[in-house]
Chains A and B, each alone.
Chain A
Amino acid sequence: METIKKYLETMFANLPRTPEVIKAKDELWQMMEDKYNELIAEGRSENEAVGIVISEFGNLDELAETLGLEQAVEESHELMELEPRRQLCMDEVRDFLHAQMARGSMMGIGVLFCITCSIWVILLSDTILEMIGVLLMLIQIALAVGMFVFAANRHAKWSYIYKEPCSIDFATAEYVASEKERYSLGLKGQRTIGILLCATCWLPAALFDSIGLTKLNIMDNIVAVMLLLMVGVGVFFIVNSAIVRASFEKILKINNEKTMGSQFVDAQKVLYENPRLNNLMSVYWPTITCIYLSWSFLTFNWGSSWLIWPIAGIAHSVIKKNLGCTKQA
């Protein structure tokens, strides 16, 4: 049954995504499924049944005539000749995703090292080891730069995925979509922890201050180190999850978005009827973040400024409900 499904998906992959084509695919699937089930019920082996169903399927050129798709089919043939899409195989895509995960952690650690490089100087200041602190800082920066260069070098190998038109078959798209699903919770968790760490990096300072520990000079330094570590680890999680997420998206969007092969692209993406509102909404969350950060830093009113998030969340869903229209899958 899987084989038949894949066969049908592959046949349709280069056809335009129109209601007629989607309906035709569903109907043909219905017939093939019925025929397959009956053959199995008659006692045929799975292989035999699949063979019969596929051999009696016919060809799409015939369908094209009646669906008014001659032009589309011809165009897709032409497109294949004019601008051949490089077909990525499943192993290649798997390697790419693994490489992106490695790159994510490497870039994340690089940024972490950059942010936290000064902790040595802070910790060892006013001691005889001050020079060693500076040395350690320089070593850490060098390591971070090394990681960036290494990651960029390894990444260059995959540049064709970004520059050349590529395509993937149905089985690969399905694999990537399931991998994305599998990692999705972890990635969301990482991002949330990252944002939380950054947003609460001032907590140790406030805590130490409230119990009067900051009178000691050494505590000031420790507070600064904790702040840097929290921001560093937070940014690591944000960078890592963003890179991995982007790699999944990249592969899933690789097929021409007007064809049936692109079915895994965000079906839930909300579009607003008014194009200006559409542009406005695309910067909604970054704007809220800016307002939150500037308000908080200007007034140091962290205790109540977080209220902007629930308010913004409610406002967002109200706007989406009233003015948005979900893009047809």
Chain B
Amino acid sequence: MVEISSDVIRGYNDTMILYILQKAPSYGYEISKQIKQLSDGKYIIKETTLYSAFTRMEKNGYIESFTAAPEADGGGKRRTYYRITASGQQYYKEKCEEWNLTKEVVEHFISVEA
């Protein structure tokens, strides 16, 4: 069975996280769960990868963190939530364009059908 090489996907972890945060602020486990669901369970992001991405993007000003308790199960435990910033939105757009270009280029060289 083919697995995703972590070298290839690395450049797009940020894109996935920003895509989810674009819809609503979220926290660590929730984000990793959504990544798993949206990829039909084909990509499971490691906890350390996720946390690294958070710290890196926060440093770059793409996301902001805040603490809050989840509304769903009111009074639940407090977690660190992340929300996307304006420059994060901009970065996300650039990453999408970059991917479209990458995909277009690489696509020309793929001859074996899945």
Spell out A's residues near B (CB within 8 Å).
Answer: 24, 27-28, 30-32, 34-35, 38, 56-60, 62-63, 65-67
Contacts and interface: CB of A to CB of B under 8 A. Distances in A.
A63 B47 CA distance: 10
A66 B80 contact: no
B29 A58 contact: no
B56 to A, nearest CB: 5
Contacts of B28: 27, 30-31, 34
A66 B56 contact: yes
Interface of B: 27-30, 32-33, 44, 46-56, 79-80
B42 to A, nearest CB: 14
A32 B28 CA distance: 9
B55 A28 contact: no
A283 B30 CA distance: 54
Nearest to A11: B48
Contacts of A67: 55
Contact of A27 (B44, B46, B49, B51): B51
Nearest to A35: B29
A31 B51 contact: yes
B51 A28 contact: yes
A35 to B, nearest CB: 6
B48 A62 contact: yes
User: 3 smallest A-B Cβ distances: which pairs?
Assistant: A58-B46, A58-B48, A34-B29
Contacts of A31: 28-29, 32, 47, 50-51
Contacts of B48: 28, 57-60, 62-63
A66 B52 contact: yes
A128 to B, nearest CB: 81
A37 to B, nearest CB: 9
A184 B92 CA distance: 57
A56 B80 contact: no
Contacts of B51: 24, 27-28, 31, 63, 66
A66 B29 contact: no
Contacts of B44: 56
Contacts of B53: 66
A58 B55 contact: no
A60 B47 CA distance: 10
